[in-house]
A and B are shown apart, each in its own frame.
Chain A
Amino acid sequence: MAVTFDKLITPSKTDTYKTEVPHTNIGIGIGVLALVIAMVVAVIAIVAANDVGVDGGNTAQLLAIAFGLNTLAIVTSKFAIAVILVGILVRLWLRIESVKVSLAVLQPDDHGAGVAVGDVGTDFGDATVTKSVPESLPIHKMARTMWFPMVVMGPMLVIAGVVTSIVWSNNVGTSTGVAASGWTQGLQFLGEGMMLAGISFLLGSILSSLREGGAQVQESLGITVTTLKMPATAKAFVGLMAAGLMISVIQFGLYLYTLTFDTFAEIAPWWAWLGPFRELGLALLLAGIVLALATIANVLGFQFSRIRSIVSTGE
């Protein structure tokens, strides 16, 4: 199964460095769709706010629909980001191929075998020197396997939440409406959490490709392979992502648990903190994404320093 997903994030046999990958245009199209949905939601909200000033008869129904659609707009924009990240991965492998063939020409003929095998310090953090391409890290294997299920399941749950938001809208003020409200909030924020986890796994796959591709280039040039050890930002990224995903699952369970209560008076205090709690799950996932991007920047800096060194000294 992971092999099938790998095909999506690696170039096809016909792709070359000249090929323009379609992901950017597809991503922009999906992003525009997200903005259109968000604008529709804004109009519904304005109508709902005006309705409060008139008689408030339709406010709750409008807000229920607006909630469902708004989360759909957010997950659509995140899906657009995921499509672009897939494009980055495909482009990254094509660039690795370009670097490999170009460095074979640019590398001075008279060169040694490279730095001695073992641990070394670099300007970008501690690194390991090996004779050949090191094995993939378990977290990288996991990222390459998990990104696709997460990116698919996340939007599916959010769309299911749009359906329950329609049920909520049609049953405001009844026990069915309360139950549909709980399902909508729980389902949609679980979906949002999974979508962000999918994006995190794609970023993990980018880090994996940088590591593996960089190592392949060095090995192909007949020199020892220097690879950065996992930096603290990458470790914190994994921790934040796990915590955020866990909160997203827990909040879903707690929303369902509150639906077993007899009265809305019992439910109200729970929902008062579950709202921000579910947002905290997304917040931690986003914080992890910041650290993943910072790690990618650091790895790129390291790889450019390696390329410079190979061009200047041959190793």
Chain B
Amino acid sequence: MTTLTINDFDTETTAKAPDRNTPQKVGRALWGPMFVMALMGFAGGIGIAIYRANLISTGGDPLDIAALGQYGPAAMFFGFAAVFAAISFAIAKILGELRVGGGSVQQAAGSDIKTLKMPGMVKAFMGGMAMAMMIILAAVVLHVVAGVNIADGGVSPETIEQWSIWLEAARRFGVVLYLVAIMLGLGSIVQVLQYQGFRIRQVAKLL
């Protein structure tokens, strides 16, 4: 079984308790708005789906049905992009609480304040999140573009099917990438918790 020492952690020392870093401030501010936007996207997606199902059962215009087949996933996956962003920002908020709280406890104990430097896993979390967000949002925009073109007519059924397959592949890959990025964000919480377990013992001179 592997064991660590406090020297295995890369830290920075400050005179007073550190504030949240920029990603943590962004996370704290944006998790709520993203949560609301996600609910709006999901409501729009399910609304479009019900309307489209009604058109299919009542023999509606095939062009409208095909166009709505693009708008529905666009709305739903806008919601998914937003909810994954909200989850990522909430993880950043947790990391911010750990950073600020850990620093303030050391300050209260009268010791110098040592904080974990941003781990590589956090950087990978942010990079993965940004890439996944771009992939899903690009698919959302292209679904809307495809829908507008289909509604205007002049697009063959084969082309519509090809667009649908490409965009579905892109957005689903984006979802997996987002989930892996979120996993890395949670993994960084494990690292911070372990460091804090060491550090509080060091402050209490129990190491």
A residues near B, CB below 8 A? 14, 16-21, 23-24, 27-28, 31-32, 34-35, 37-39, 41-42, 45-46, 48-49, 52-53, 56, 59, 63, 66, 70, 73-74, 77-78, 80-81, 84-85, 87-88, 91-92, 94-95, 97-99, 101-103, 105-106, 268-270, 272-273, 275-277, 279-280, 283-284, 286-287, 289-291, 293-294, 296-297, 300-301, 303-305, 307-308, 311-312
- The 4 nearest A-B residue pairs measured at CB: A304-B101, A45-B169, A293-B90, A276-B49
- Is B204 a contact of A101 with CB atoms below 8 Å? yes
Please choose the segment from B136-144, B147-155, B179-187 that sits at the chain A interface, where 4 or more of its residues have CB less than 8 A away: B179-187
Task: From the candidates B2, B108, B161, B186, name the one contacting A52 in the complex (CB within 8 A).
Answer: B161
Separation of A106 and B162 alpha carbons in the complex (Å): 66
User: With the chains together, A28 CA to B184 CA distance in Å?
Assistant: 7
Q: State whether B186 touches A84 (Cβ < 8 A).
A: yes
Interface flags, B168-207, vs A, CB<8A=1, else 0: 1110110111011011101101110110111011011110
Assuming A105-B204, A272-B53, A272-B56, what are 12 further A-B pairs, CB within 8 angstroms? A17-B198, A19-B2, A31-B183, A37-B176, A42-B169, A74-B172, A77-B176, A87-B187, A91-B197, A97-B197, A101-B201, A276-B45
Closest to A293 in B: B90
20 contacts between A and B (CB under 8 A): A20-B1, A20-B3, A23-B190, A31-B179, A38-B172, A42-B173, A45-B168, A49-B169, A52-B165, A53-B162, A74-B175, A91-B193, A98-B198, A272-B49, A276-B76, A279-B76, A283-B38, A283-B80, A287-B35, A300-B97
B22 interface residue (CB < 8 Å to A): no
Which residues does chain A contribute within 8 Å of B67, judged by CB atoms?
none
User: Using Cβ atoms and an 8 Å threshold, which residues of chain A touch B100?
Assistant: 304
Q: Which residues of B contact A49 (CB under 8 A)?
A: 161-162, 165-166, 169
- State the majority secondary structure of interface residues on A: helix
Residues of A close to B173: CB separation below 8 A: 38-39, 41-42
Nearest Cβ in chain B — how far from A168, in angstroms?
Answer: 16
Query: What residues of chain A lie closer than 8 Å to B91, measured between beta carbons?
Result: 293
| Inter-chain contacts of A291 with B (CB < 8 A) | 35
Nearest B residue to A240 via CB reads B39
A97 to B193 CA separation, bound complex (whole angstroms): 12
- Tell me the count of chain B residues lying within 8 A, CB to CB, of chain A: 78
Total A-B residue contacts, Cβ distance less than 8 Å: 241
Chain B residues near A34 (CB-CB < 8 A): 176, 179-180
User: Would you call A27 and B187 a contact (CB within 8 A)?
Assistant: yes
Tell me if A269 and B56 are in contact (CB < 8 A).
yes
A102 touches B203 (CB 8 A): yes
In the bound complex, what is the Cα–Cα distance between A289 and B95 (angstroms)?
A: 16
Asked whether any CB of chain A lies closer than 8 Å to the CB of B114, the reply is no
Separation of A95 and B199 alpha carbons in the complex (Å): 10
Say whether, besides A48-B165, A53-B158, A53-B162, A94 and B197 are in contact (CB < 8 Å).
yes
Nearest Cβ on chain A to B127's Cβ, whole angstroms: 14
| CB within 8 Å for A19 and B108 given contacts A27-B187, A279-B45 | no
Of chain B, the residue at the smallest CB distance from A27 is: B183
Is the Cβ of B186 less than 8 Å from the Cβ of A81?
yes
- Within the complex, the shortest CB–CB distance from A243 to chain B, in Å, comes to 12
Q: Closest residue to A78 on the B side, CB-wise?
A: B179
- Contacts A102-B201, A290-B87; is A269 near B193 (CB within 8 Å)? no
List the B side residues contacting A73 at CB < 8 Å.
172, 176
Given contacts A38-B173, A38-B177, contact A88 B76 (CB under 8 A): no
- Distance in Å: Cβ of A286 to nearest Cβ of chain B: 5
Query: B74: shortest Cβ distance to chain A, in Å?
Result: 11
Report yes or no: B3 in contact with A312, Cβ–Cβ below 8 A: no
Q: Report Cα–Cα, A102/B196, bound state, in Å.
A: 11
State A94–B175 Cα separation when bound (angstroms): 33
Set of chain A residues within 8 Å of B109, measured between Cβ atoms: 106, 311
Question: Which residues of the partner chain A approach B50 to less than 8 Å between Cβ atoms?
Answer: 273
